[in-house]
């Protein structure tokens, strides 16, 4: 039974808690596409979006989720805030809390920032991506999408390919998928696959071509250039040749295997445009499911 005030990561969630979120999200899923969109679940509550890093999908998705639950929503942009004048994260969140809010949705470039905030406020904190650590609602929407498409997790082979080292999406996926019983494989350039990833329960496959034909799900990640210092790849063309989900590799996938990507996509680099837009791709379904998953999370952290 869900009894958490915050959602900070998938590492700490039990199987039952994850399934409860996915089941709740399903009850909201229809309202993501139908005209009967509004629920009164969070009427009278205020949700503040504290995004210290750029975002298209997550910020829009959380905003729509909160609005469809009838919450009041306040946006916050780092560039226009007093953090540029030297205010600390703790002072920022305590000042916002003092205005009478209920949920802080935080994205931050520093791993652990939402956890730090949660220790200094009494309101609910939801992690919308912290550094290279976790992106729990992306992980949950990926799990939701896989469950809808495959109907199970046990026995599934999920391959995550790309920049594993800098990916909070990879970590949240690994935690969630392992908890639910899927096999997880990671593949990418040696410079972008940390050795310790095996300790999280993932198997490293150096040659992406070895696993392409066995996967039930391939989750493609972009190279997170904004988090990389120095050179980790010989060239973009070399990366695409060895680890890109090209049309040729797509043809070797199992007939019912699906292609996922958390976005933003670098077309022609980690994924061919024809594959991103092709019949196996569930990328836009992931985005739609994300609103329902975030509706579930926002309602659950305040005990609704």
Q: Which residues bind ligand CP (CB under 6 A)?
A: 55-58, 129, 135, 138, 262-264
**β-bridge pairing 217-220 and 103-108:** unpaired
| Residue carrying the six token digits 């298209």 | 56
Q: How far is the CB of 261 from ligand CP (least distance, A)?
A: 9
3-state secondary structure of 49: strand
Q: How far is the CB of 290 from ligand CP (least distance, A)?
A: 8
- Which tokens belong to 118? 């949660």
Q: How far is the CB of 187 from ligand CP (least distance, A)?
A: 20
Q: How far is the CB of 122 from ligand CP (least distance, A)?
A: 27
Q: Is 240 exposed, middle or buried (0-12, 13-18, 19+ CB in 10 A)?
A: middle
Radius of gyration of the chain (CA): 19
CB 146 within 8 A of CB 270: no
| Residue carrying the six token digits 């990389």 | 228
In the bound state with ligand CP, the residue whose beta carbon lies nearer, of 138 and 281, is 138
In the bound state with ligand CP, the residue whose beta carbon lies nearer, of 13 and 283, is 283
In the bound state with ligand CP, the residue whose beta carbon lies nearer, of 109 and 263, is 263
In the bound state with ligand CP, the residue whose beta carbon lies nearer, of 201 and 263, is 263
Q: Which helix (H) or strand (E) holds 183?
A: strand 183-187
In the bound state with ligand CP, the residue whose beta carbon lies nearer, of 49 and 212, is 49
Half-sphere exposure of 239 (CA within 13 A, CB side): 25
- Which tokens belong to 229? 């210092």
Q: How far is the CB of 83 from ligand CP (least distance, A)?
A: 19
């Amino acid at each position: 039974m869900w009894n958490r005030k915050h959602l900070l990561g998938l590492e700490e969630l039990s199987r039952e808690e994850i399934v409860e979120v996915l089941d709740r999200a399903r009850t909201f899923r229809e309202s993501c596409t139908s005209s009967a969109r509004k629920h009164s679940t969070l009427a009278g509550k205020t949700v503040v979006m504290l995004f210290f890093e750029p975002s298209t999908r997550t910020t829009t998705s959380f905003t729509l989720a909160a609005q469809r639950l009838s919450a009041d929503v306040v946006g916050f942009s780092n560039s226009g805030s007093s953090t540029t004048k030297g205010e600390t994260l703790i002072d920022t969140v305590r000042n916002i809390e003092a205005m009478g809010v209920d949920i802080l949705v935080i994205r931050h470039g520093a791993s652990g920032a939402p956890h730090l905030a949660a220790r200094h406020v009494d309101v609910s904190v939801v992690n919308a991506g912290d550094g290279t650590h976790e992106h729990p609602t992306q992980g949950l929407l990926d799990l939701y999408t896989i469950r809808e498409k495959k109907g199970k997790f046990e026995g599934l082979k999920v391959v995550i390919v790309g920049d594993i080292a800098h990916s909070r999406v990879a970590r949240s996926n690994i935690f969630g998928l392992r908890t639910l019983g899927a096999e997880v494989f990671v593949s990418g350039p040696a410079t972008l696959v940390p050795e310790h990833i095996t300790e999280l329960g993932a198997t490293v496959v150096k040659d992406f071509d070895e696993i392409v034909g066995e996967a039930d799900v391939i989750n493609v990640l972009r190279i997170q250039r904004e988090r990389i210092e120095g050179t980790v790849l010989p060239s973009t063309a070399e990366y695409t040749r060895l680890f890109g989900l090209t049309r040729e590799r797509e043809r070797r996938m199992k007939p019912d295997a699906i292609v996922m990507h958390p976005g933003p996509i670098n077309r022609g680099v980690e994924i061919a445009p024809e594959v991103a837009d092709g019949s196996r791709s569930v990328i836009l379904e992931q985005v739609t499911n994300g609103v329902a998953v975030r509706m579930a999370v926002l309602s659950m952290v305040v005990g609704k």
